[in-house]
Amino acid sequence: MAEVELKTAPADFRFPTTNQTRHCFTRYIEFHRCLAAKGEESGECERFSKYYRSLCPGEWVEKWNEQRETGTFPGPL
């Protein structure tokens, strides 16, 4: 797997406060929606991957990945 260069996600007017929890969750969902719509081979979703990886704690991502695999993920994918 190629190494991912992490950069901070650009400012998003939907998340004006310093608490980035919702921003993190939204970017994670956007990434997986993009994959579902365009396929894993599409490079168009890579930016969403970079965004959520820079915002979300690794433990959250691991838990969400497990929840997606078991069908218990709480968000709309």
Domain range annotation of the chain: 20-70
- CA R_g for the chain: 12
Given a cut of 90, whether residue 72 has pLDDT beyond it is yes
* CA dist., res. 69 & res. 72, Å (int): 8
Among 50, 77, 47, 52, smallest CA distance to 62 is for 52
- Whole-angstrom distance between the N-terminal and C-terminal Cα of the chain? 24
Please, which pLDDT band fits residue 76 given cuts at 50, 70 and 90? confident
Q: Tell me the per-residue pLDDT of 21-40, one tens digit each, with 9 for 90 and over.
A: 888 999 999 999 999 999 88
Residue 51 to residue 10: CA distance in whole angstroms: 8
- Alpha-carbon distance of 11 to 43, in angstroms, equals 22
